Structure 1
């Protein structure tokens, strides 16, 4: 889940783009910049480098603050291979391959549904040193949709109805977001990556299968669950619940509205969190 971006620049293979192979051989495209403790940025629904200039700017700012920053296209998006899409395990393996690329340990930043993928990656033991989670769209424990979104997406993708899949995925978002997306020239891009949304839904559905303290029992690193000062009602309770469920988690607030953060505020918040010392610090061994 995530507020869709409405700007798009065509992705081209550049000197800056690198490729890493995931466990199943799928090539994952990424940018890497900066010199310092590493952090991998995990996009949410609809996000990839050519479609999400805000995260690219965040990567530049963090690199300038002394971090090695990896910003990548999730499988089935942008310059990454389509490969098999929709499987949460594959998304976790992609994160593991990127963490290995920067030395086997890195902080993870996840935006929206990407925050939940970050949690599953940390649980799987990819070498996460700390987690920064932006507005994870988690329903209260035990109150999810019973897998309806996951099943609905799979059914529509299987039927070839990619446009219907995106509409279905966005059905619980503010209606003006869907209307604005459909009126934008970016709409065909969103429809084109619809199959990859199944993994976002899978991450959210799996989160409701057991209490979070059990689901993410191996996440013993520092966690910052961030919400915007102006946001939708679902996000603050989810952040509070994560802070209660995970042993080293706390909440934070940044200047933001409508599920989109303000660049300076997010840069400052992340840079401070990533620079903290002690176990779990991004460069700690």
Structure 2
């Protein structure tokens, strides 16, 4: 465990585990580092670094404007505090949006980049439907959870995996912080910065992802130099959990290519 101090004085909690080359794992919107609990062990041989986004977990929860660019600056504060000059970065969902800024604006800090189930955002990205947005905006928490789980996992997987689930958001977040996360993710727009990414890039996506449509994978791959996309058949948004055997191996193979 560690605590980094962001530029605005916000304390950002982070977690280190294992030994080896550093690998930063970035979670989705309104989630803490527990997003990675089911698959963190897949990256044995790495020193994995996770963090609690501001507003979540053990990090401070300032009621100020949040942005994906600002979250990227928080990640840099964590790397500085941990004494890590450069690392591989694997970001999923909103974490993938943050990872885009990291690689574009801090190229010397990112060795290889993996973007999972994410989007360039705003007018260029393919966003979820209005029907899904309305369903997720309902007041009933149980109803929202049911919709979200259906977007994350196939019915067959849910039937055989009764939980706990790690992608439903940090329940300890205050309402204002959850809203700040939503606005930050919705306002993400890295389109103009994507061609500046220097790191070799792998893009992963579930073919049946309706939360962040799979068309974003090819869109990112054509916009980022030296990028390639791999779309997993039948997978939904949380491909990294349900299809972890395939997905984690794809990431490991990419981070350590055979000569």
Give the structure 1 partner of residue 77 of structure 2: 97
Structure 2 gaps, min length 5: 149-163
Instruction: Report how far residue 266 of structure 1 moved.
Output: 2.2
Q: Is the 8 A contact 1:86 1:197 kept in 2?
A: no
What corresponds to 1:264 in structure 2? 245
Write the distance in 2 (CA, Å) between the matches of 1:129 and 1:244. Answer: 20
Matches for 1:34-45 after TM superposition, within 5 Å: 34-45=18-29
- The offset of 1:38, in angstroms, is 0.9
- Larger deviation, residues 255-264 vs 265-274: 255-264
Would the aligned equivalents of 2:56 and 2:170 in 1 still touch at CA under 8 Å?
no
Partner of 1:207: 189
Check whether the contact 1:92–1:124 (CA below 8 A) recurs between aligned residues.
no
Establish whether residue 124 from structure 1 lines up as the match of residue 105 from structure 2: yes
Which residue of structure 2 lines up, in the alignment, with residue 195 of structure 1? 177
* Normalised TM-score (structure 1): 0.68
1:218 to 196, 221, 231: 196
Q: Secondary structure at the match of 2:61?
A: coil
Q: Deviations over 1:161-180 (max 9, x none)?
A: xxxxxx869349xxx97252
Moved over 6 A (4+): none
| Structure 2 residue aligned with 1:246 | 224
Aligned partner (choices 51, 59, 80) of residue 80 of structure 1: 59
What does 1:1-285 align with in structure 2 at a 5 Å threshold?
Answer: 17-50=1-34, 52=35, 55-62=36-43, 64=44, 66-83=45-62, 85-88=64-67, 89-100=69-80, 101-125=82-106, 127-138=109-120, 141-142=123-124, 170-171=136-137, 178=144, 180=146, 189=171, 192=174, 194-207=176-189, 212=191, 214-232=192-210, 234-254=212-232, 257-261=235-239, 262-276=243-257
In structure 2, the CA distance between the partners of 1:43 and 1:234, relative to structure 1 (3 Å rule), is: closer
After the TM superposition, which of the residue ranges 134-143 and 249-258 deviates more from structure 2? 134-143
Q: Is the 8 A contact 1:107 1:130 kept in 2?
A: yes
Question: What's the CA shift string for 1:109-162, capped at 9, x where partnerless?
Answer: 1111211111012222161112111111456854778xxx9xxxxxxxxxxxxx
- Alpha-carbon RMSD across the aligned residues, in angstroms, is 3.6
* 1:79 Cα deviation from its structure 2 partner: 0.8
* Equivalent pair of 2:12/2:74 in contact (CA under 8 Å): yes
Unaligned runs of 5+ in 1: 1-16, 150-166, 279-285
In the comparison of the two structures, how many residue pairs are matched? 230
Once residues 28 and 272 of structure 1 are traced to their aligned partners in structure 2, the CA distance between those partners, rounded to angstroms, is: 31
SS of equivalent residue, structure 1 residue 201: helix
Question: d(CA) in 2 for partners of 1:108 and 1:192?
Answer: 28
Aligned equivalents of 2:135 and 2:25: distance in 1?
A: 22
Shift of 1:199: 4.2
Does the CA contact (< 8 Å) of 1:115 and 1:133 recur in 2? Answer: yes
Contact 1:91 1:199 in 2 (8 A): no
Distance (whole Å) between structure 2 residues aligned to residue 201 and residue 169 of structure 1: 17
